[in-house]
């Protein structure tokens, strides 16, 4: 597998950690995300990958855009891939939550594959091109 898009060495018990990087969505069509994690020997709950949306890459939603569980198996690497329905623009970022209060998640890696619609050109077709000022 290619080099991961993000990596976290350890996620403490009951912790949530922001995975490095974000994904820019430009004419986005489909997105698949793969997460690979090593569950500790005393793990007792699933990990959850939480996806957050931002229209501009700076102002992030407080609420989760979507999420999915990575079902735990004690002392085993578990990999899961999901397809995420995405808007055609904006940004996505990921946080991983360790649902276990008993042990760590180790070597958390993620990869993504983003397919975009082609840029067909043709100008703005009546879309506003100058930003408005809002008071």
State yes or no: pLDDT of 132 exceeds 90: no
Query: Which residue in the block uniquely carries the two structure tokens 């990087």?
Result: 21
22 pLDDT above the threshold of 50:
yes
Contact between 7 and 44 under an 8 Å Cβ cutoff? The reply is no
38-68 pLDDT tens trace: 999 999 999 999 999 999 999 999 999 999 9
Measure the CA–CA gap between 75 and 77, rounded to whole angstroms.
7
Q: Which residue has the higher pLDDT, 76 or 128?
A: 76
Tokens of 42: 């005393």
Domain residue extents for the chain: 6-116
Question: Is the pLDDT assigned to residue 1 strictly greater than 70?
Answer: no
Check residue 3 and give its pLDDT: 85
What ranges in the chain are assigned the alpha helix state H? none
* Greater pLDDT, 118 or 104: 104
Question: What is the model's pLDDT at position 130?
Answer: 38
Superfamily of domain 6-116: GOLD domain (2.60.120.680)
Q: 76-94 pLDDT, tens per residue?
A: 999 999 999 999 899 999 9
Distance CA 72, CA 26 (A): 34
Pairing of strands 16-18, 89-98: antiparallel
Q: Give dist(CA 24, CA 35) in Å, integer.
A: 19
Place of tokens 């018990």: 13
Residues listed for the chain: 135
pLDDT at 122 over 70: no
For 24-42, b/e burial (b = at least 16 CB within 10 A) is: ebeebeebebbbbbbbbee
| For residues 15-37, average pLDDT | 94
- The pLDDT assigned to 119 comes to 82
User: Does residue 18 register a pLDDT over 50?
Assistant: yes
């Amino acid at each position: 597998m290619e080099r991961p898009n993000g990596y976290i060495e350890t996620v403490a018990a009951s912790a949530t950690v922001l995975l490095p990087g974000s994904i820019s969505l430009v004419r986005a069509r489909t997105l698949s995300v793969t997460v690979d994690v090593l569950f500790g020997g005393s793990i007792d709950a699933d990990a959850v990958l939480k996806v957050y949306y931002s229209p501009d890459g700076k102002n992030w939603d407080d609420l989760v855009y979507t999420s999915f569980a990575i079902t735990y198996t004690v002392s085993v690497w578990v990999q899961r891939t999901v397809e995420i329905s995405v808007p055609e623009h904006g940004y996505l970022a990921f946080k991983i939550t360790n649902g276990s209060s008993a042990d760590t998640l180790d070597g958390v890696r993620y990869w993504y594959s983003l397919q975009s619609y082609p840029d067909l050109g043709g100008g703005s077709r009546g879309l506003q091109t100058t930003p408005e000022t809002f008071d």
